[in-house]
């Protein structure tokens, strides 16, 4: 899991790592943090935004999951967060959702015409 928060300045990318005792003992938590740190080292320069603090949260599977799967999960989370944090993009996505009626709304309108 990845959480993000935009700071007021446009400084460097911030990184925090956390692993609770649910992940396992100290050895497992340290391994999870090392793996997340390396994933962030590889992905944040490409997918991170300046002036944003990211916190990568280890889950129970983090110490043992395949490396490619871990990178893919972190990459997908960063892409989603980037879309939500970029100026204008989140607002455009919300406006698009508001303009597009949901499938339930469309089917309800068709039934009303047929009655």
Q: What is the pLDDT along the chain (115 residues), one digit of tens a residue?
A: 888 888 877 889 899 999 999 999 999 999 999 999 999 999 999 998 888 899 999 999 999 999 999 999 999 999 998 888 887 655 555 566 666 555 554 444 433 334 4
Q: pTM, whole model, 2 decimals?
A: 0.72
Set out the domains of the chain in order of their start, with CATH numbers: 2-87 (3.30.230.10)
| Residue 17 CB burial class (10 angstroms; 0-12, 13-18, ≥19) | middle
């Amino acid at each position: 899991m990845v959480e993000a928060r935009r700071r007021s300045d446009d400084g460097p990318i911030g990184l925090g790592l956390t692993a609770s005792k649910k992940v396992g003992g100290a050895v497992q938590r340290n391994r999870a943090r090392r793996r997340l740190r390396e994933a962030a080292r590889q992905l944040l320069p490409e997918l991170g935004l300046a002036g944003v603090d990211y916190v990568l949260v280890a889950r129970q599977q983090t110490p043992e999951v395949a490396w490619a799967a871990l990178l893919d999960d972190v990459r997908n989370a960063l892409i989603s967060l980037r879309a939500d944090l970029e100026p204008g993009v989140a607002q455009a996505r919300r406006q698009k959702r508001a303009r597009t009626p949901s499938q339930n709304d469309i089917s309800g309108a068709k039934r009303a015409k047929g009655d």
